[in-house]
Structure 1
Amino acid sequence: MKISFKYLVVSFFLLIFFQQTISSQNIQTIAIQKPTAVSVDRYGNIFVADVSGKIAYFDSTGKKIYEYSPSKIARVSLLESWRSVKTFVFYQDLQAFTLLNRFLVATAEQYRFSNAIGFARLATLANDDNLWVFDEADFSLKKYNPDNEQIILNVPLSLIVENKDYNFTFMREYQNLLFISDANSGILVFDNLGNYKKKIPVSGLKHFGFSGDELYFFKDDTLYFSHLYQTTERIIKLPKTEEKINFVLYLDRKIIIFTDKSLIINR
């Protein structure tokens, strides 16, 4: 059976049109206030803190499930929700942190760091339920036990990063590795004992994430993926948005974009 070239051309353009139509129908936009921190758990639920200090929990379909409103308004500097059963909330301005359960109910209003921490520039939850803290006072990375308020590990950073030329913006532990983004030089990688491993040379980042065995981050209009254990890389062009993109999350082929006014889910 012969199929004409004209038929193939028409079919090709119909296929392209169909794909574009499906793509446009799979974009969901939700109005939000300007976000200051975002996270996603392993089930695809979305967590976003806005400029008012509120934290919203959306399920993977974009439906708002819970909202946390603290009694004391403060800017949320970092969110970590990957483990689902708890969300870690860090307030740099208050030098404090909060733990929320899966219903976004605080186990206590706020915990303050002890005198063992000079000034916490960044803090995040470790896999062993302790905290990783970048202490700006003595330019060190510390593992902090919030129960007894003691330091477990203390790693001076002066031999790794020039302490006059740094801008640490985000940190997260993943697969027994700790990643810290320095906007001026790249992503620093440590093992779970605080030993420095390497630097990923990508500057200008304020956030990054993980999907499977890949680290991802966005710059300009592109989402970049780098394999943690191989040398493979890939990119995804982000869809156009009317507003500046502040954060991007990626999970199960779903791209979640945060602008000043919108949460945009691309399936």
Structure 2
Amino acid sequence: MSSSPPVGAKALGLAVLLLGAAPGARGQATVPNAASVAPAAVVAPTETPRPAAGTSVGAVAAPAEVPAAGAWALVRTLRLPNPGAASLDRRGGLYVADADNNIRQFGPEGLPLNTYAPTQPGHVAQLEAFNLNTTLVFYDDRQQLVLLDRFLAPLSELRLADYLDGTVRAATLAPDNQIWLLDESTLALREFDPSTLRLVQNTPLDLLIGRTRPDFRFLRQYQNNTYLVDKTTGVYVFDNLGNYKKKLPLPGLNTVGFRGDELYYLAGGQLRFFHLYNLTERTVALPSGTNTGALRQVLVGEKFAYLFTAQGVAVYQLPL
């Protein structure tokens, strides 16, 4: 004859089952829910936080303060009153003309490296340091080009009046060491070979400009294209032989920069990036608390960005 479990054992087993199914049970309280899956390196909350001590059950606890995603980190501020023309090289080095038109070289983090002081006074209208081996300095008031090496030691000087009759408004150094010139007197884009000391290309601009009154401000070659900034109408784009390709409708600019496959510029207190091939545009928020009305220029490298004001240059580390 089979024997049945004692009545006390049945009651105890039933009580255990009821406790396991009770809504208030806290078994496995640390198991995340299904919505907790997050990409690698992204911290995401997986549980509803319990109320803090002394907080009523119905109240919502204040969230903990965390750094804002994508925040710019200030590295240092360079005391450089009234900075002028500026440029970045391919390694992220910063080159700036100071109020006395000396050329100052800084490392990517803003640490000073070298200084070039010209033998003659002059106004630095444009500075191009993207070519690692040669830096070009264009003095518009005395119509002169100065080429410096990577340590800012002089390599050569060119007096433009010896090679053309017009007045050059903007100049830049191409990766192949050719020099592009914007001849304002004849409204022409010219290419100059410093090794042979002669003009090798000439592109008239009068038909492109039409009846508008141009205000050329900046010239730069990037990825086999030459970009000419006209503050009145926009940015003219030419190929590496000086043939006209198109015009980007970006009026009101004094200068532009390049990073990767994008052209960037400062407009309306915002930093905007224009993709050179997809023709899409995006806006990047400037550091919190920035006085956008005081900004003169922004340069963006791979890891650092530089904000120029009348007081100096603020060096920021970009978000990773």
When the two structures are superposed, what TM-score results if normalisation uses the length of structure 2?
0.76
- TM-superposition CA deviations, 1:145-199 (whole Å, max 9, x none): 2233221111110011136511000010000000010000001000011111111
2:162 aligned with 1:111: no
2:74 aligned with 1:26: yes
Asked if 2 retains the 8 angstrom alpha-carbon contact of 1:117 and 1:135, the reply is: no
2:65 aligned with 1:14: yes
2:298 aligned with 1:251: no
What amino acid is the match of 2:141? Answer: D
Aligned-partner Cα distance in 1 for 2:74–2:132: 26
Query: 2:168 maps to what in 1?
Result: 120
- Paired residues for 1:184-199 under 5 Å: 184-199=232-247
Aligned-partner Cα distance in 1 for 2:276–2:283: 15
RMSD (Å) for aligned C-alpha atoms: 2.2
Aligned-partner Cα distance in 2 for 1:206–1:155: 22
2:213 aligned with 1:162: no
Moved more, 230-239 or 240-249: 240-249
- Taking structure 1 as reference, are residues 141 and 254 closer, same or farther at Cα in structure 2, changes over 3 Å only? same
Aligned-partner Cα distance in 1 for 2:211–2:249: 18
Q: Secondary structure at the match of 1:60?
A: coil
User: 1:51 offset after TM fit, Å?
Assistant: 2.5
Asked if 1 retains the 8 angstrom alpha-carbon contact of 2:163 and 2:198, the reply is: no
Identity of aligned residues (%): 34
- TM-superposition CA deviations, 1:95-114 (whole Å, max 9, x none): 11001111111113x31012
- Taking structure 1 as reference, are residues 28 and 10 closer, same or farther at Cα in structure 2, changes over 3 Å only? farther
- Taking structure 1 as reference, are residues 177 and 6 closer, same or farther at Cα in structure 2, changes over 3 Å only? farther
Aligned-partner Cα distance in 2 for 1:211–1:261: 26
Unaligned runs of at least 5 residues, structure 2: 1-28, 30-46, 53-59
- Taking structure 1 as reference, are residues 198 and 242 closer, same or farther at Cα in structure 2, changes over 3 Å only? closer
Asked if 2 retains the 8 angstrom alpha-carbon contact of 1:243 and 1:260, the reply is: no
- Taking structure 1 as reference, are residues 197 and 242 closer, same or farther at Cα in structure 2, changes over 3 Å only? closer
- Paired residues for 1:1-267 under 5 Å: 1=29, 3-4=48-49, 12-15=63-66, 18-19=67-68, 23=71, 26-108=74-156, 110-113=157-160, 114-162=162-210, 165-239=213-287, 240-241=290-291, 244-267=294-317
What amino acid is the match of 2:49? Answer: S
Asked if 1 retains the 8 angstrom alpha-carbon contact of 2:109 and 2:304, the reply is: no
Aligned-partner Cα distance in 1 for 2:104–2:293: 21
- TM-superposition CA deviations, 1:97-142 (whole Å, max 9, x none): 001111111113x310124341111111122211111111211111
What amino acid is the match of 2:48? Answer: I
Instruction: Tell me which protein shows more strand as a share of its residues.
Output: 1
User: 1:10 offset after TM fit, Å?
Assistant: 5.5
Aligned-partner Cα distance in 2 for 1:40–1:167: 24
Moved more, 39-48 or 226-235: 226-235
Unaligned runs of at least 5 residues, structure 1: none
Aligned-partner Cα distance in 1 for 2:203–2:73: 50
User: 1:29 offset after TM fit, Å?
Assistant: 1.0
